[in-house]
């Protein structure tokens, strides 16, 4: 299992702040995002829309191709903006 955390506007759009899921196949950050987006509706819009989703694995920023392992904590959040 992996633990997922959702932050900021992503958490608000999805109506979910955390969940646990089996390791996705392929076991990468992008594989996880694709699996979640396959839920359809707001999940697909939020995770595969025009604004990219950022990810951190075990509190380190992660690229889409980063492998995932059992017990990992994955945080998903929108890009930070400000001025």
pLDDT, tens digit (0-9, with 9 covering 90-100), for 34-57: 999 999 999 999 998 777 899 999
Other Cβ atoms closer than 10 A to 55: 21
Query: What pLDDT does residue 63 have?
Result: 96
Query: What pLDDT does residue 82 have?
Result: 57
Q: What is the mean pLDDT of residues 73-82?
A: 85
Choice between 78 and 56, residue whose per-residue pLDDT is larger: 56
Residue ranges in the chain assigned as alpha helix (H): 8-14, 29-37, 41-48
Alpha-carbon distance of 10 to 27, in angstroms, equals 22
Structural domains in the chain plus CATH codes: 2-77 (3.10.20.30)
Alpha-carbon distance of 72 to 81, in angstroms, equals 27
| pLDDT digits 0-9 by tens, 4-34 | 999 999 999 999 999 999 998 889 999 999 9
Q: What is the mean pLDDT of residues 69-75?
A: 98
Kindly state the tokens that stand for 44.
């697909």
Alpha-carbon distance of 24 to 53, in angstroms, equals 17
């Amino acid at each position: 299992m992996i633990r997922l955390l959702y932050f900021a506007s992503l958490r608000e759009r999805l109506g979910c702040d955390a969940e646990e899921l089996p390791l996705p196949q392929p076991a990468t950050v992008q594989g996880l995002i694709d699996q979640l987006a396959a839920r359809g509706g707001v999940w697909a819009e939020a995770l595969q829309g025009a604004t990219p989703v950022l990810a951190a694995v075990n509190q380190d920023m992660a690229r889409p191709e980063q492998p995932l392992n059992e017990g990992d904590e994955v945080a998903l959040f929108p890009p930070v903006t400000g001025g």
